[in-house]
Structure 1
Amino acid sequence: MTPTFPKPSELATASRHLVDVPFEGDGAATGALNWGQQHILGAIRNLGSPMNMCAVRELTPPASVQDFADELRFYLERFQAMRTLLRFSPDAPPVQEVLAAGLAPLEVVDLPADADAARAAAELVAEHEQRPFDDENELPIRMVLVRRDGVLTHLVTVLNHFATDGAGAFVMYEDYLRRDPVTGAVPEPVRTHPLDLTAQQASPAGRRQSDASLRYWEKALTSLPPTGQPAPVEREGARYRRVALRSVPMMLGATRIAHRLECDVSAVLLALFSTALARVTGTRPAAAQMLVSNRFRPGMADVVGNVSQTGLFVVDVAGATVDEVVDRAQRAVTRTYKHAYFDLAQWRELLADVERKRGEPLALCYYNDRPSQRSGTAPGREPSAEAVRAAAAVPTPATWTELPFFNERLMVTIDNVDEAGDAIPLLVYADTWHVPPEDMEALARLMESLAVAAACDPGTPTGIV
């Protein structure tokens, strides 16, 4: 048998150099972190991962280095988040500093004529996804140009997730595309920067919003029955694991239910998750934390920054059909969104107080529907019941992955649909000392089977009395 060896890196023979890009911008100031910034900074630290966001753009001649120096300057000068550094001290919360001016590096990677430029760009993405930003000294945007035999082929853009989320990144690029081709200006100024949110949240109106949200959390959490959680059980194999199902039956079933109920697929998936969670874990009502984007709030749709916070979702799934739970879940998630905007320090104090009174940790599951964080999931064409049954007749394989670390006991993620668009990518992550692997897979399989059953029979019960 002929041995195989990994191909050498396309970057091994590349040369790299930096181009300094000067910038100047308004709004230079120092201030506290806003609630969304506090949330994402905590998430990055808890996960132990930089969570960098990377994008690759394929370039066509006659692109020049100066073009992208101008693009980088545009982002830095228009968006204060892109020229913000953090300042840490041992005895005080971190603060942010918006710079008035400075130099930003634009990296150029030169490849020989026989190099695979697309592969080199992919290697750069892999490199930068794992290279943390130096929050105190490094601007939160990196741009890297790939040049082969003197011709620019790719641009790799890397954003520090602390500085913005995916929606904010799209705002940046859309503004760049809308700029005046001569002056480089955009007709209207940026309405809200991260420091503006800090000021709004410290205002009387901001305090009232936070207080109302925390009252909702306290009332909902104290109403949850005790679970009598058992002690963790050490199991063989990796402690932290993920099971993935790429489920065609769930996509078809949820789509058919969405057509019947005239809602989006995300609402159906939330009901399926709630029902499966209650049945597998025995917790009633079903309760979970979820990431909520606050971009629906006035003036926050176009913020280049992080505006997501944790929401608390609680829904009763007992004595109902799956269709009825879809309606209940939609009303419950409205309350979740309304109360996912609050002072993070006070929220942590509230959780600790509730846990002390309950005498046990809350340990809520985390639910993350990534497509719904943008604009919901459109139903698409309505499948027939026969198509749903035919898809369910083909077993969906489960793919297991061992994780080096995971910071939740249980998390269910609906991932972004791939190019084929014919399946729901369902991921269940867990600390198996608290949630055994068989329960992880059972939860995923139950969501799938409920989707099939309810798609074919509107009277399908949740199975919870």
Structure 2
Amino acid sequence: MTPTYPRTAEAAGPEQASRHVVEVPFEGDGAGIGALNWGQQHILGAIRNLGSPMNMCAIRELDPTASVQDFAEELRFYLNRFQAMRTLLRFSPDAPPVQEVFAAGQALIQIVDVPPGGDAAAVAAELVSEHEELSFDDENELPIRMLLVRRDGVLTHLVTVLNHFATDGAGAFAMYDDYTKRDPATGEVPYPVQNHPLDLTAHQNSPSGRKQSDASLRYWRRELMTLPKRGENGRGEREAVERAGARYRRVSLRSVPMMMGATRIAHRLECDVSAVLLALFSTALVRITGDRLAAAQMLVSNRFRPGMADIVGNVSQTGLFVVDVADATIDEVVERAQRAVTRTYKYAYFDLTEWQELLAEVERERGEPLSLCYYNDRPSQRSGTAPGTEPSVAEVKAAASVETPATWMELPFFNERLMVTIDIVDGVGDAVPLLVYADTWFVAPEEMEGLARLMESLAVEAGCDPGVRTGV
């Protein structure tokens, strides 16, 4: 079988634009069939649980001299060099899915012609909206789409779409970085690809891979069994309570006082803001639940592991974060949280099937379901040092005197009971973009906003006074 794009894809898209395709042959090494590695299993499960393709899309504005051949060569480069870009999945009803890497085949570049006088940028934006939700046919369609927008015979934009199963954002940047570093004469990159997804599968099935997984699962068991049961703090397991309005919601605060207070704490402790925000979240969560231990799942990128920094593939898995916030100052919780999150990262690399079996086993032994929330920290400032200038106490208090507005959004679906996201993606900035997502049948809207505002008030109090305690 030769992988390619489905021909039906040619007809999709903005109705005012016409389309045709250019065929791009490719050829690479490392063809074969194998099981999915742990990161692939994780992302495939996430895509299915969310009911969303999670496609990654990017628009590139083009120089007027750009040619179709330029991008045919770029697409061929990605396919030839990266096995993940020429991989299809194979599903069967009685066995786990497997991946097949092809040695050769054909891909298609779509060319979208904008009518005279049309808005090429708007057409490119429409293509992104279309392809963000247009699922890949994992068994028949290669995991990369390239679409060129053309107006009056001149190429204006490139839209690239990646199947999130094939790689994450860091892998996408690694692909493009290799493309920019190729030799201008030979078109070759002066260094080999260190690892491909099938290489990870092989390593994870080796004795050293099994040893790592076993150690991670022992950590998960140990930490989960230390968590208090619902009845031990006077609270029973939460039952679903139907509430008026949308069941799934998000509240967001763009908090200047939280950033200023957290920055003061970071300067005081010589750490980054990320560590402080984790401690504030942990303390606020415990104040709301009544437990002494804060526990949450985190998405951990395993790119810090040897040979995985630049892999084109998915290497993120779920980590378990547990920290005791009782009988401590906020400053002490920051230090505890930093030690705890190191363990979280160390043990977020494991056999997914065995992990799922472990969770079920722990629930049976505890006699109750596990209901861990999710903490999703996406700041780029993880340098280990405090950012910028340290604000004064007066500046923190002045910022706190103005109430931070809360913005609500209704969601069509959300697959967790509670998730807190710190959405700093373009540097540190002057405010903390804090997003709280929840299934309001389990976490009431007032609790969602209360958690966010408690994190903010703790940041202000502890930023101004190093002796502020958790109150737990």
TM-score by length of 1: 0.95
Give how far 1:127 is off: 0.7
| CA offset digits 1:118-143 (Å, max 9, x no partner) | 22111111111111110000000111
> 2-side partners of 1:378 and 1:293: how far apart?
23
> CA separation in 1, counterparts of 2:117 and 2:152?
8
State the alpha-carbon separation in 2 of the partners of residues 136 and 73 from structure 1: 20
Aligned length: 455
Q: Work out whether residues 148 and 155 of structure 2, in 8 Å CA contact, stay in contact via their aligned partners in 1.
A: yes
Tell me what 2:196 maps to. 193
Q: Distance in 1 between matches of 2:136 and 2:383?
A: 30
Cα gap change, 1:116/1:383 in structure 2, threshold over 3 Å: closer, same or farther?
farther
Of residues 440, 452, 461, the one that matches 1:453 is 461
Q: CA deviation at 1:417?
A: 4.1
User: Is 91-100 or 219-228 further displaced after alignment?
Assistant: 219-228
Q: Which stretch of the first structure deviates more once superposed, 141-150 or 89-98?
A: 141-150
Q: Could you tell me how far apart the structure 1 residues matched to 2:339 and 2:127 are?
A: 44
Q: Is the CA contact 1:113–1:149 (under 8 Å) kept in the aligned structure 2?
A: yes
Distance across 1 between alignment mates of 2:45 and 2:122: 33
Cα deviation for residue 259 of structure 1 reads 1.4
Write out per-residue CA displacement over residues 160-208 of structure 1, whole angstroms, 9 at most, x where no aligned residue.
1100011111100110110111211000110100000000000000000
- Structure 1 unpaired stretches of 5+: 1-9
CA distance in 2, matches of 1:380, 1:69: 44
Q: Is it true that 1:412 corresponds to 2:420 in the alignment?
A: yes
Distance in 2 separating the partners of 1:373 and 1:85: 36
Tell me which of 169, 179, 204 is aligned to 1:176.
Answer: 179
Secondary structure of 2:192 counterpart: coil
1:38 corresponds to which residue? Answer: 41
Q: Which residue number corresponds to residue 428 of structure 1?
A: 436
Pick from 260, 271, 279: which aligns with 1:263? Answer: 271
Give the corresponding residue for 1:364.
372
SS of equivalent residue, structure 1 residue 352: helix
- Residue in 1 aligned with 2:233? none
Q: Secondary structure at the match of 1:306?
A: coil
Query: Take 2:352 and 2:39, find their aligned partners in 1: how far apart are those partners?
Result: 9
**1:420–1:308 Cα change, 3 Å:** closer
* Whole-angstrom CA distance in 1 between matches of 2:35 and 2:171: 20
- 2:167 matched residue in structure 1: 164
Q: CA deviation at 1:416?
A: 3.0
Output one character per residue of 1:60-93: Cα deviation in whole Å (capped at 9) or x when no partner: 1211111011111111111100110000000000
- Trace 1:107-186 onto structure 2 (pairs within 5 A): 107-186=110-189
Equivalent of residue 358 in structure 2, options 350, 356, 360 = 350
Change (3 A) 1:334 1:445: same
Q: Distance in 2 between matches of 1:87 and 1:241?
A: 36
Matching residue of 1:5? none
Contact 1:11 1:111 in 2 (8 A): no
Alignment partner of 1:246: what SS? strand
Counterpart in the other structure of 2:318: 310
Letter aligned with residue 252 of structure 1: M
SS at match of 1:237: coil
What whole-Å deviation, never above 9, does each CA across 1:13-68 have from its counterpart, x for those lacking one?
21111111110000000000000000000000001111111111111121111101
Equivalent residue of 2:140, what SS? coil
Distance 2:219 2:193 in 1: 33
CA distance in 2, matches of 1:199, 1:419: 37
Offset of residue 157 of structure 1 = 0.8
1:212 aligns with 2:229: no
- Of 396, 399, 411 in structure 2, the residue corresponding to residue 388 of structure 1 is 396
In 2, the alpha carbon distance for the partners of 1:213 and 1:420 equals 32
Alignment match, 2:70:
67
The equivalent of 1:327 in structure 2 is 335
Deviation at 1:112, TM superposition (A): 2.3
How far apart, CA to CA, are the structure 2 residues paired with 1:132 and 1:218? 36
List aligned pairs for 1:44-55, cutoff 5 A.
44-55=47-58
Hey, what does 2:449 align to over in structure 1?
441
* Greater CA drift, 455-464 or 311-320: 455-464
Letter of the 1:210 partner, please give it.
S
The reply to whether residue 13 of structure 1 matches residue 16 of structure 2 is yes
Q: CA deviation at 1:377?
A: 8.6
TM superposition shift of 1:421: 2.4
Q: Which of 22-31 and 251-260 deviates more?
A: 251-260
Aligned-partner SS, 2:75: helix
For residues 47 and 183 of structure 2, what CA distance do their matches in structure 1 show?
36
Q: Among 244, 252, 260, which residue is 2:260 paired with? A: 252
The answer to whether 1:287 aligns with 2:290 is no
Which residue does the alignment assign to 1:3?
none
**Contact preservation (8 Å) 1:415, 1:424:** yes
Aligned AA (1:105): L
AA of the residue aligned to 1:181? P
State the alpha-carbon separation in 2 of the partners of residues 119 and 382 from structure 1. Answer: 43
Q: Which whole-Å CA distance do the structure 2 matches of 1:104 and 1:250 have between them? A: 49
Contact 1:112 1:148 in 2 (8 A): yes
Say if 1:268 and 1:119 are closer, same or farther in 2 by CA, change over 3 A. same
Residue identity in the other structure for 1:279: R
Confirm or deny: 8 A CA contact 2:66 2:155 kept in the other structure.
yes
1:85 has 2:93 as partner: no
Aligned equivalent of 2:109 = 106
- Whether the 8 Å CA contact 1:254–1:455 is kept in 2: the answer is yes
Q: Tell me which amino acid in the other structure corresponds to 1:335.
A: R
1:167–1:374 contact (8 Å) kept in structure 2: no
- 1:87 counterpart SS class: strand
Secondary structure of 1:218 counterpart: helix
In structure 2, distance between residues paired with 1:458 and 1:421? 24
Moved more, 33-42 or 418-427: 418-427
Amino acid at match of 2:220: W
Within 2, Cα distance between the matches of 1:329 and 1:138? 43
CA distance in 2, matches of 1:431, 1:182: 56
- Contact map agreement 1:417 1:425 (CA 8 A) in 2: no
1:240 aligns with 2:248: yes
Amino acid at match of 2:120: A
Question: For the residues of structure 1 that align with 2:291 and 2:39, how far apart are their CA atoms?
Answer: 30
With normalisation by structure 2, the TM-score equals 0.94
Other structure's SS at 1:161 match: coil
* Change beyond 3 A, Cα 1:372–1:203: farther
| Letter paired with 1:319 | D
